Amino acid sequence: MNKPVRRIAIFCGLLVLALMIRDNWLQFVQADELKNNKHNLRVTIARYSQPRGNIIVDGQAITGSEQVNGVTYKYKRSYKDGPMWAPVTGYSSQVYGSKYLEGVEDKILTGDDDRLFFNRTIDMITGKGKKGGDVITTLNAKAQEAAFKELGDKKGAVAAIDPRTGKILAMASTPSYDPSTIAGANDDAAWKKLNADKDQPILNRALRQTYPPGSTFKLVTASAALENGLYDSVDQSTNSPLPWNLPDTNNLPLNNEGSLPMCKNGSMREALRVSCNSVFGKISADLGNQKMMAEAEKFGFNQKDLTVPVGVAESVYPKDNRPQNAMDGIGQASNRATPLQMAMVAAAIANNGKLMQPYMVDKLRAPNLNVIDTTQPKVLNTPLTPEHAQQLQSAMETVVKDGTGTAAQIDGVRVGGKTGTAQNGVDNSGKPYAWFVSYAMTDKGSPVAVAVVIEGDKDTARDDVAGGKLAAPIARSVMEAVLKTSK
């Protein structure tokens, strides 16, 4: 009987061996994958076992870490002026992950970044817990406050940048929400409510929502006309008929808003001042889809991977047939832009044709206050020559001085702007979007360019929505705030 017993001994040995091999597979080969699995709560537990680093604006932290000493989590994220800063910070939730800056700079904020390795090691040796680093932003608290307050209970967004460097100064989006309300472990009711909200409060409209840019896009069309030598200056007559018919159509005219007789043969300055669709539709048609697209791309359109470092939705100047391309040239048809994109257009013109790469993280700071990384301003593109840019500046200043943008005037400061009222939906059935883009100019160059978009509601009369009335005052407040603080 011993022979089978020996075989059973081997069999039992094989069973144990199989278990040991499986254990090696699980705890050695697959260990990292299982450890960092998105369902593994230990990742979140570790993340909230120490205070998180802060997001800083103008030297003040706009985030905090609240000690909760819960069963699972020791700390919870808190936010100062949450709704105002939500488009910047995003959220860091114990249950729902993180978004925007909280998500993009997560490794710095938790202290896991490789650049913090030295700090971590020192802390480990001295027995201190891991600490998170800080993210110092480029934002301007006063400008942000102005933007958020002025937007009020309207639905819309504001993006403001410093044209000289590309620093993002304000980024507001309404309706907003307080990220503190979804930071904890038991906030599923608030989370569900936020996500079910039709107005999408979590959405950062300044970066992630694209709108038809409407007449504000005429700035790009004007740039294309100058850059491609269609006209020598903004004051040259454009030889445009009125009404002007869309190409390849059965004499379908491209109408202006209201009766604008000065659009006939008007200069680009005049056409910008009163916002002639006929003139810019014709320019777009004369240049053709390819040249229009090329100029738009120089301003940042059709760029899928722009980050600030939060990802920006792609603004689109589409490939289209001739009549559609003419419509694209006045910011309609399939033309789509984010508010940040339109602020970039104004900024490039204000910065004498040089488009700076927009960014919102100025510095990354280690827990011991050593700066570990500084973002250097970088030229993204040069859509205009300085001479052409200055011509456009002068035309934009005319718009504010005695055109559609008078509401943006600031005493003693050169302000250039362009209004826009984008039609929405088939046959203008949807609510219109009111746009205003502008810049302010001082003797040290332009410190601020801003784009404002307001989503009108059904009750708003169409002329009320016109960018000059709804959006321009907001842009003025933001520019004033920046001018005051930059003195």
Partner 1 sequence: MAAISPLPNTTPTAIITVGQPSRRNTELILLAFAVVIPCFAYANVGLALDGRMPSGMLGYGIGLGLLAGVGHLAVRRYARYADPVLLPLATLLNGLGLVIIWRLDQSERFRALKTFAPAATHQLLFSALGIALFVAVLVLLKDHRILQRYTYISMALALVLLIAPMFFPPVNGARIWINLPGLGTIQPGEFAKIILAVFFAGYLMVKRDALALASRRFMGLYLPRGRDLGPILAVWAMSILILVFETDLGTSLLFFGMFVVMLYVATERTSWIVFGLLMSAVGAVGVASFESHVQARVTAWLDPFAGWGKSEASEQMAKVLMTFGSGGVSGSGWGQGNSDLIGFAANSDFILATVGEELGLAGTMAFLLLYGLIVERGVRTALAARDPFGKLLAVGLSGAFAIQVFVVAGGVMGLIPLTGMTMPFLAQGGSSVIANWALIAILIKISDTARRPAPVPVNNPDAEMTQVVRP
Task: Provide the annotated active-site residues.
Answer: 215
Tell me the closest approach of the beta carbon of residue 94 to partner 1, in angstroms: 14
Tell me the closest approach of the beta carbon of residue 107 to partner 1, in angstroms: 20
Pick 4 or 261: Cβ nearer partner 1: 4
Pick 4 or 229: Cβ nearer partner 1: 4
Pick 185 or 203: Cβ nearer partner 1: 185
Pick 14 or 371: Cβ nearer partner 1: 14
Tell me the closest approach of the beta carbon of residue 11 to partner 1, in angstroms: 8
Site for partner 1, rule CB under 8 A = 1-9, 11-13, 15-16, 18-20, 22-24, 26-28, 30-35, 37, 39-42, 45, 71-72
Pick 130 or 401: Cβ nearer partner 1: 130
Query: Which H, E and C letters describe the chain, residue by residue?
Result: CHHHHHHHHHHHHHHHHHHHHHHHHHHHHCHHHHHCCCCCHHHHHHHCCCCCCCEEECCEECEEEEECCCCCCCEEEEECCHHHHHHHHCCEECCCEECHHHHHCHHHHHCCCHHHHHHHHHHHHCCCCCCCCEEEECCCHHHHHHHHHHHCCCEEEEEEECCCCCEEEEEEEECCCCHHHHCCCCCHHHHHHHHHCCCCCCCCHHHHCCECCHHHHHHHHHHHHHHCCCCCCCCCECCCCCCCECCCCCCCECCCCCCCHHHCCCEHHHHHHHCCHHHHHHHHHHHCHHHHHHHHHHCCCCCCCCECCCECCCCECCCCCHHHHHHHCCCCCCCEECHHHHHHHHHHHHCCCCEECCECEEEEECCCCCEEEECCCCEEECCCCHHHHHHHHHHHHHHHHHCCCHHHCECCEEEEEEEEEECCCHHHCCCCEEEEEEEEEECCEEEEEEEEEEECCCCCCHHHHCHHHHCHHHHHHHHHHHHHHCC
Tell me the closest approach of the beta carbon of residue 32 to partner 1, in angstroms: 8
b/e 13-24 (16+ beta carbons within 10 angstroms → b): eeeeeeeeeeee
Tell me the closest approach of the beta carbon of residue 97 to partner 1, in angstroms: 15
Tell me the closest approach of the beta carbon of residue 90 to partner 1, in angstroms: 24
Pick 69 or 429: Cβ nearer partner 1: 69
Tell me the closest approach of the beta carbon of residue 66 to partner 1, in angstroms: 19
Pick 41 or 413: Cβ nearer partner 1: 41
Tell me the closest approach of the beta carbon of residue 49 to partner 1, in angstroms: 11
Beta strands 134-137 and 55-57 are parallel
Pick 46 or 413: Cβ nearer partner 1: 46
| CA angle in degrees (0–180, nearest 5) for 262-387-228 | 70
